[in-house]
Amino acid sequence: MNLTSTYPTWYFALCLLAGIAGAFVLYYRDWQFKDLGNAFKKWLWVLAVIRAITISFIAFLLLSPLLRSTVTRIEKPVILFAQDNSSSVMINKNAQDSAGYVAAVTQFIDELSKDYEVKTYSFGSALKEQPGYTFTDKTTNISAALEELTNLYNNQNLGAVILATDGIYNEGSNPAYIKAELNVPVYTVGMGDTTITRDLQLLEVMYNRTVFYGDYFPLKVEWKAQFCGNEKTKITISHIKEESIKTLDEKSIDIESNDFSGSNEFLLKAESSGVNHYRITLAKVDGEASEINNIKDVFIEVIEKREKVLLLANAPHPDIAAIKQSIESNKNYEVTVAFGGSVPGKMEEYSLFILHQLPSSANNIQPLIQSIKSKNKSVLFILGAQSNNALVNSSQTLINIAGANGSTSDAFPVLLGEFSLFNIPEALKNSLATWPPLIAPFGDYRVSPGSVTLMSQKIGSVVTKFPLILFQQDLNGRTGMITGEGLWRWRMNDFEQNGNHDSFNGMLSSIVQYLSVKADERQFRVRIEKEMKSGSNHIFAENETVTFNAELMNESNELINTPDVSLTVKDDHGKEFPFIFSKHINAYNLNAGYFPVGNYTYLARVNYNKKDFSASGAFTVSPTQLEFETTRANHQLLYALSRKTGGKLFYPAQLDILAKEIREKQEIKPVIYSATRTEPLINLRWLIIPILLLLALEWGIRKFNGGY
């Protein structure tokens, strides 16, 4: 610590002279003490010195001298200890084993903390600070934990990472190949059991999450048997409803060798609507290491009916088959084909009407179109050479085509980037440029201001503003239009380019789904967030949180969130879980957290303008068994990860050796940081204290001797 100044050194001598001069002027001819005699002269010298020091010090501070100091800080190396808290770590271990391991780890961390800054974490599906060592997480994501630790400690004095796990991961990528730039050794503590034991295991169950009532649906089960040669077992499919279990089918299995695997297929009938619970059980054999992975539960939603689409055409056309096959590739839809102006069955049965080259000169179906609109049904017009453009113009408000006179042009599709009504399949974006043109009416296209265009027409080499596919929503429902025929060419080209119809089917499925969705005109509605993101999916894993969104509208259809909204969730046994929604912007949301496995119903209530509104629904929580699908620890993975980063593999009984290894690692050492700080001396407020003390001492001596 030293003093510096921006003024020359001789300025400090001037400060001293200023102090001496001030003291001389004050005390050289101070007659008020002359009566005190020669004995008081020594006090005059003391007073003069005090005054000189005080004035000199104040003058010195006015020169703004700078105080420069060096601050040294020693930062200990940071050691990260991340404990795998998933269920597989302590499988087949008792409570005493777990407690003994936790005690050993606690002692290990306490010892390291004497020389290092130790940060402890646990991980399963996510990284958590301050581990609880419960070993109950349902999934393991090792790579995500390492990447998050990298982000947290990338710019600190990180010495090493200690990863205590069995090496079994069922989420994320292989941790041995992650791109996390830790730049420190990763020491692994190999937990679990690597012994190959006698075990039967259900590997995977393949099934459709949604089926239709009365249909037969397949269910394929893959299994594996280790060290169970010459044994017999069987697979049983059961239907679980409330407290009853009904066996639907079973098949025997002869295990031929010690490393044996296979699969069995079952054909089941959807006999009850709603979410159905099925259990697949692989009968145990004597001496199995674990019976937990012999059982899997699946939940399948059975829908009572499909959405019906009427494809009404002016005349037979290759487009008809292409459209029908593409729509019905989605099992949620059923297409009925008719010609002319006749509607098979009742109009109310259909959620969407597709009019192919209608209305035409031969089939003026404007009365039918008016009837469709009066029932708020959606319509998709497909124009072509047979369309009567004048009748088309008067049948809808989406577009007006003038001056066509029956002539057509080849219109290539151009996708517009600002389209937002529904998601465009990536496969479509990549292959659209190779698709052939549609045959579209040639004329002046005048588009309604309320319409939204998906594709525009490219005629020759010119990209026009004429729409090829566009949509509109008004009070009478949703209307769509494809202004050209020849969709069958698109479907064939898709297969020629990609070997499948996925791009074309995805495009048409999105169009049909958007148009056939019924507008929700309820004043109060509650939806599960997962349903909004992934269609009708309301089946949750037990490690997923259940989130609700709610909307309340006033009489002007404006969103409001003034009143409180309550929600009650009820399980199979009648137990209720009450909640209150949080208010967010002009709507409501609620994260209800985790629920045990089972079926649940919910009821939301709100009172607005002295009226009671309610909304209800259901969801299902299915068990997560990923941690028990693989029970053999993967220490080879841990060895590869440690070797790649310069660490080593240890075992729980070797924690003391691991501590010694870290202490002997020369690269893991403290970092000394030095910083120089400069500040004006006058900023030190405590300096006013000695100045006041000197002045007070001077005043006290004067006062005591009769001065003032």
Average of per-residue pLDDT across 4-22 = 82
Q: What is the mean pLDDT of residues 480-487?
A: 94
d(CA 536, CA 538): 6
Q: Tell me which of 315-324, 381-390, 463-472, 509-518 is least confident.
A: 509-518
Higher pLDDT, 109 or 520: 109
Residue 34, pLDDT > 70, answer no
Share of the chain above pLDDT 70, in %: 94
- Looking at domain 77-195+632-664, its CATH architecture is 3-Layer(aba) Sandwich (3.40)
Mean pLDDT, range 679-695, rounded to an integer: 83
Query: Which of 2.60.40.10, 3.40.50.2030, 3.30.70.270, 3.30.9.10 would CATH assign to domain 199-303?
Result: 2.60.40.10
Q: Is the dihedral of CA 538, 542, 545, 548 positive or negative?
A: positive
HSE toward the beta carbon, residue 102, CA cutoff 13 A: 15
Query: What is the rounded average pLDDT of the residues 442-458?
Result: 90
Mean pLDDT of 330-339: 88
Same fold, 199-303 and 524-622: yes
Q: Which residue has the tokens 């699908």?
A: 629
Is the entire prediction scored with pTM above 0.85?
Answer: no
Of residues 81 and 667, more confidence is placed in 81
pLDDT tens-digit series, residues 211-247: 888 888 899 999 988 888 888 999 999 998 877 889 9
Is pLDDT above 60 for 620?
yes
Q: Evaluate whether 469 touches 514 at the Cβ level (below 8 Å).
A: no
Q: For the chain, what is the mean pLDDT? A: 85
Query: Helix, strand or coil for residue 61?
Result: helix
R_g of the chain, CA atoms, integer Å:
41
Please report which confidence band the pLDDT of residue 30 belongs to, taking 50, 70 and 90 as the band edges.
Answer: low
Rounded average pLDDT over 541-554? 88
pLDDT tens-digit map of 133-174: 888 888 889 998 998 998 888 888 889 999 999 988 888 888
Distance separating alpha carbons of residues 594 and 621, to the nearest angstrom: 9
Contacts of 536 (CB under 8 A, 6+ apart): 210, 301
Q: Which residue has the higher pLDDT, 34 or 508?
A: 508
439: pLDDT confidence band, cut at 50, 70 and 90? Answer: very high
pLDDT at 672 over 90: no
N- to C-terminal Cα separation, the chain = 41
Domains of the chain, by residue range, sit at 2-71+678-704, 77-195+632-664, 199-303, 307-516, 524-622
CATH of 524-622, one of 2.60.40.10, 3.40.50.1100, 2.60.40.1930, 1.10.3720.10: 2.60.40.1930
Class for domain 307-516, per CATH? alpha beta
Query: Range with the lowest mean pLDDT among 157-171, 455-469, 528-542?
Result: 528-542
Give pLDDT, residue 495: 92
Residue 63 has a pLDDT of 81
Q: Distance between CA 53 and CA 412 in Å, rounded?
A: 96
What's the mean pLDDT in 608-633?
A: 81
Per-residue pLDDT, 516: 82
Position 661 scores a pLDDT of 92
Asked whether residue 127 carries a pLDDT value surpassing 60, the answer given is yes
Q: What's the 3-state SS for 419-442?
A: CCCCCCCHHHHHHHHHCCCEEEEC
Residues 241 and 248: their CA atoms lie apart, in Å, by: 13
- The model's confidence at residue 544, banded by pLDDT at 50, 70 and 90, is confident
Q: According to the model, what pLDDT value does residue 193 have?
A: 80
Max distance between CA atoms of the chain, in angstroms, equals 139
What's the pLDDT score for residue 266? 92
SS (H, E, C) 351-398: EEEEEECCCECCCCCHHHHHHHHHCCCEEEEECCCCECHHHHHHHCCC
513, 422 in Cβ contact below 8 A? yes
502-516 helix and 487-498 helix, angle to the nearest 10 degrees? 140
Amino acid at 678: T
Whether residue 652 has a cis bond before it, omega within 30° of 0: no
Closest CA relative to residue 419, chosen from 428, 407, 410 = 428
Q: In the beta sheet, which residues pair with residue 550? A: 526, 588
Residue 577 corresponds to which tokens in the numbers above?
A: 């879980």
What pLDDT, on the 0 to 100 scale, is given for residue 179? 63
The encoded tokens of residue 612 equal 């009671």
